[in-house]
Structure 1
Amino acid sequence: MIRRKPLLTLAVLALALTGCAAYIDERAETRAEAAERRYPPTGRLLQIDGKTVHAHVEGQGPDLVLIHGASGNTRDFTFDLVGRLRDDYRVIAFDRPGLGWTDRLDTGNDSPLAQADLLRRAADRLGVRDPVVLGHSYGGAVAMAWALQAPERTGAIVLLAGATHPWPDDVSLGAFYPFITSPVGRAAVPLISAFAPESRVEQALAGIFAPNPVPDGYMDHVGAGLTLRRESFLANARQVDNLKPYLERMAPRYASLDLPIEIVHGARDTTVGLDYHSRRMARLPNAELTVLPQVGHMVHHAAPQAVLAAIDRAARRAGLR
């Protein structure tokens, strides 16, 4: 009996933990299904080598590809920017692999180069020719990867607070992403997906937009619940946490590009450093930098006219307009 009692206790504890895990999984799945019902695809679901790629296409004119940042999806662009562009461009906004409604890649999902390859093949399926490729934040790395892989088929690049260069070793992205990608953090992802309150998402958005306000209606439109799905949440964390080594290999190759590059960056951006990224990119002879005072990370929401002007300049410099 002395031996059986601890075994019985462990058995009861194991059953309790199993039941708790089952409840967490069920709640996380229920929240994911609710988010998918609330925020369905707004565009076409393309099949590219067995992978689904979500492409929101509107307008007419020169081709303009939009690539969103970390934790995002096409809805960040369809909230406002696409409506401002569709009269002058054929706008193609993609969900990046593992986010929104685009499948994650089996290998290399954290690589901007692999992501760009998949999205470029999806663009080919849509008949995209010599596009202006715009990337915001992490999407800037994917936009640069796109240009490096197919410079002869890329009209121009527009970077909005783009993450394009490796940052110094003494600069940290914080403990969050390394924790999530650790074994302990991966185990915590179902808990986050199941119980993360909407108020926490609102706080995170406020920090990303600061010092500018989050636009009215943005939270309801953007579909943060899609990012909180377990697989998407982990894919996003891995992409951010593993970005620097890819940029270390990509950045020395930028000088080989002779296509027009327009850069827009907020002077008060605390998410992607102006000096580490955009000012270094602006050293290229074919790059032009616009710095916006009193603007944070979400330049296309805080200063849309400046972004439209940069896109138009890129298109004119590329001979597309």
Structure 2
Amino acid sequence: MPLAVKSLIILTLLCLGLAALVQWRASARESAVEAQYPPSGQFIDVEGTKIHLKVSGQGPDIVLIHGASGSLRDFTFDLAQRLETRYRVIAVDRPGLGRSERPPGYGGVWNIAAEPPALQAQLLQRATDQLGVKNPIVVGHSYGGAIALAWALERPEDTAALVLLAAASNPWEGELGWLYQINSTRLGSAIVIPLITAFTPHAVIENTLSEIFAPQVPPPDYMAHFGADMTLRRATLRANAQQVNALKPYVTEMSKRYDTLTLPVESLHGTLDTIVPLTTHATPLARQISGAVLTQMEGIGHMPHHADPQAAVAAIERAATRAGLR
């Protein structure tokens, strides 16, 4: 056998062995973190797609929708407990994140299609319908703010109010970071994402979380409760990258319909938010929706409901009053 052929065979075997090692390590890491963070709520079947949500409290309905790379655990750390004495709180995992599944036609290594905000809203609506949710206040953080807006556009007559926390609502200049772009491709899905899952050090996760909270810092015990390593699962990384990378054209089209919304809208947005900038999103949104109230939070970054949770509760109370629920 020629030397070149032998070398090619050896190289192929080494590549296959390395790929197998990466997938094994990624699977082992996923299994460990999923055992550490089992489902904290219940599953609702929506035509074969399991949506994970957690219900607590009594009173008017509130639906909490988390942002990119998140899960309902972001809300159950603090805000849900502050609300459940006066409301029935339904914290949801968005499709493909936390413990919720992606609907048919989405997901997998090679399928890079992303669920539109309207489809995500419809899935969450159908799930909460099964709980008897009627006329809810819908709270959305960051990417979840886009889903909250889509929720209201889908059901304007059955949504009491919106409370938007650092919400992504309008198109922005330029493109997203290179990692989002790569991970939303087939090559990134197949090769880069397993490497991230297998080998990203925990310290990198902590640093990333600190950047999301900046200039504030994560509350004590937030990391342990949230389970940031859950966001590094391969399926979660794929869903998050694809959804975020595809968001811009959807909010561009959605923004043309915001003026049809007549429900109460309360928006909280930090002046130092560099992830979803105030002037790109919240400022124009306050003009696009008649009667929308924007509260600018001086010196606050991208996590207003953690930086000042009482301000978030106050915004929800104002929304409830304006909607006639109080």
TM-score (norm 2): 0.95
Aligned to 1:247: 251
**Aligned with 1:282: secondary structure?**
helix
Structure-2 residue corresponding to 1:46 = 44
Would you say how many aligned residue pairs link Structure 1 and Structure 2?
317
- 1:174-216 deviations in Å (ceiling 9; x for gaps): 2221121234422211000011111000010110100001111
Quick check: 2:51–2:124 contact (8 Å CA) kept in 1?
Answer: yes
Of the three residues 308, 320, 323, the one matched with 1:315 is 320
Supply the distance in 2 between the matched residues of 1:184 and 1:47 (Cα, whole angstroms).
32
Equivalent position SS for 1:159:
strand
Inter-partner Cα distance in structure 2 for 1:133 and 1:184:
36
Tell me which of 107, 113, 118 is aligned to 1:113: 118
CA distance in 2, matches of 1:117, 1:184: 30
Q: Which of these residues, 51, 60, 63, is aligned with residue 61 of structure 2?
A: 63
Aligned residue type for 1:279: T
**2:310 alignment partner, one of 283, 305, 317:** 305
- Aligned partners of 1:181 and 1:142: how far apart in 2? 20
Paired AA for residue 200 in structure 1: V
CA distance in 2, matches of 1:110, 1:234: 12
Output the CA distance in 1 between the equivalents of 2:177 and 2:198.
Answer: 23
CA shift, 1:273, in A, is 1.0
Letter in 1 for 2:47: D
Q: Does 1:296 align with 2:301?
A: yes
101-110 vs 36-45, which moves further? 101-110
**1:164 aligns to 2:163 (yes or no):** no
Match in the other structure for 1:261? 265
Mapping of 1:180-259 within 5 angstroms? Answer: 180-186=183-189, 187-259=191-263
Deviation of 1:226 after TM superposition, in Å, equals 1.7
The alpha-carbon deviation at position 105 of structure 1 amounts to 1.9
Of the structure 1 ranges 250-259 and 176-185, higher mean CA displacement relative to structure 2 is found in 176-185
Amino acid of the structure 2 residue aligned with 1:242: A
* Overall identity of the aligned pairs, in %: 51
Q: Whole-Å Cα distance in 2 between the matches of residues 54 and 109 of structure 1?
A: 19
Provide the residue aligned with 1:24 in structure 2.
Answer: 22
**Mean Cα deviation higher: 279-288 or 68-77:** 279-288
How far, CA to CA, are the matches of 2:184 and 2:136 in structure 1?
A: 34
Worse-matched range after superposition: 107-116 or 72-81: 107-116
Q: Please state how far the C-alpha of 1:173 moved relative to its aligned partner.
A: 2.3
Residue 118 of structure 2 aligns to a residue whose secondary structure is: helix
SS in 1 for 2:316: helix
d(CA) in 1 for partners of 2:224 and 2:202?
11
Match of 2:108 in 1: none
Identify the residue that residue 126 of structure 1 maps to in structure 2.
131
Moved over 6 A (4+): none
- AA matched with 1:101: R
| Whole-angstrom CA distance in 1 between matches of 2:11 and 2:323 | 66
Q: What does residue 73 of structure 1 align with?
A: 71
User: Could you say what secondary structure the match of 2:69 adopts?
Assistant: coil
Which residue of the other structure, out of 269, 272, 275, is the alignment partner of 2:276? 272
Q: Which moved more, 1:171-180 or 1:268-277?
A: 171-180
8 Å CA contact retained: 1:109, 1:115: no
Shift of 1:297: 0.2
SS at match of 1:276: coil
2:203 partner amino acid = S
Q: Please say if residues 49 and 104 of structure 2, whose CA atoms lie closer than 8 Å, have aligned partners that are also in contact.
A: no
| Equivalent residues of 2:122, 2:151 under 8 A apart | yes
SS state at 1:189 partner = helix
TM-score (norm 1): 0.97
1:217-269 residue CA offsets vs partner (Å, 9 max, x unmatched): 11111112221110110110011100001011111101111000000001100
SS of the aligned residue for 1:274 comes to coil
Alpha-carbon contact 1:97-1:109 (below 8 Å) kept: no
Q: Secondary structure at the match of 1:290?
A: strand
Q: Does 1:173 align with 2:176?
A: yes
Q: Is the 8 A contact 1:136 1:161 kept in 2?
A: yes
Q: Secondary structure at the match of 2:257?
A: helix
Question: How far has the Cα of 1:16 moved from its partner?
Answer: 1.1
1:278-297 CA distance string (max 9 Å, x none)? 01111122200001011100
| Distance in 1 (alpha carbons) for counterparts of 2:178 and 2:193 | 15
Q: CA deviation at 1:109?
A: 4.1
CA-to-partner distance for each residue in 1:53-104, whole Å, 9 max, x for gaps?
Answer: 0011100111000000000001000111111111011000000000010001
